[in-house]
Amino acid sequence: MTSDIELARFNMVEQQIRPWDVLDKRVLEVFFKVPRERFVPEDQQAYAFSDMAIPLAHHQHMLRPVVEGRILEHLQIQPNEHILEIGTGSGFFTACLATLGKSVRSVDIHKTFTKQAAGILDELGFDQVALETGDAHAGWALQEQFDVIVFTGALAQIPEVCKSQLTEGGRLLAITGKGPIMTAEMITRKRADHFETQSLFETCTDYLKGAEPAPEFTL
């Protein structure tokens, strides 16, 4: 059984993630190190390493492995960096961020996600992760700054206040727009008053609760 899991994990990395131009050795190693199957709901275990967005509670989904890989590739997280994650979900991506960086502060609006992820992360020894519950799509811990801010669900638009939470050289990555085609964007704080925005790749995922586009009214 263990060999089947390891083969599936290997195939996920080599047949899904790497071909999507995820070439950073540290990033690829994360997907070998972090046991994705521990974070997948029991009734979805057969799809733990599949190229799909695995359903979670509250009408949410885990990001596809290829999307997770590309996000990490673009962020280029360093071992000394402090990270804010908006949208804990299953906790798998939280573990990936913690493996690459120094610390992760992760916030989710759903208490069940926070509680479940905390239990798994504690068991796996991720003591550099702080989990909190709250509505954080428009920013969190506003008095603090982070080297990396990442949203794991889509936003209609990136809140301006979040840009001020970046350190100089810090990066913010979020998926924005409307389905079926959304865009992963990265904002880099080049100087205190200068930000650079890049469109990275197209994808589609669930909106964070409260970050949905305003309804369109027609006559």
pLDDT at 107 over 60: yes
Q: If we measure between CA atoms, which residue out of 126, 51, 73 comes closest to residue 95?
A: 126
Q: Which residues are within 8 A (CB) of 149 and not within 5 positions of it... i.e. 6 or more apart?
A: 83, 84, 85, 86, 162, 165, 166, 170, 171, 172, 173
What is the number of alpha carbons within 13 Å of residue 163 lying toward its C-beta? 17
Comparing 143 with 84, the larger pLDDT belongs to: 84
Query: What whole-number distance in Å separates Cα of residue 44 and Cα of residue 97?
Result: 23
Give yes or no for a contact between 73 and 27, defined as CB atoms under 8 angstroms apart.
yes
Average pLDDT, the chain: 94
| CATH code given to domain 2-203 | 3.40.50.150
Cα→Cα distances 160→106, 118, 139, 172, Å: 19, 29, 9, 11
pLDDT at 219 over 70: no
The full 3-state SS of 184-218, as one line of letters, equals EEEEEEEECCEEEEEEEEEECCCECCCCCCCCCCC
Tokens of 203: 């994808």
Domain ranges of the chain: 2-203
Neighbouring C-beta atoms of residue 125, cutoff 10 Å:
7
Q: Report the pLDDT value the prediction gives residue 89, as an integer from 0 to 100.
A: 97
Query: What whole-number distance in Å separates Cα of residue 134 and Cα of residue 15?
Result: 37
Give yes or no for a contact between 97 and 85, defined as CB atoms under 8 angstroms apart.
yes
Query: What whole-number distance in Å separates Cα of residue 70 and Cα of residue 179?
Result: 19
Average pLDDT over residues 108-116: 97
pLDDT at 215 over 90: no
pLDDT at 191 over 80: yes
Q: Report the pLDDT value the prediction gives residue 210, as an integer from 0 to 100.
A: 84
Q: Which of 51-55, 117-121, 159-163, 164-168 has the lowest mean pLDDT?
A: 159-163
Q: Which residues are within 8 A (CB) of 193 and not within 5 positions of it... i.e. 6 or more apart?
A: none
pLDDT by residue (tens digit) across 133-155?
999 988 898 889 999 999 999 99
pLDDT at 214 over 80: no
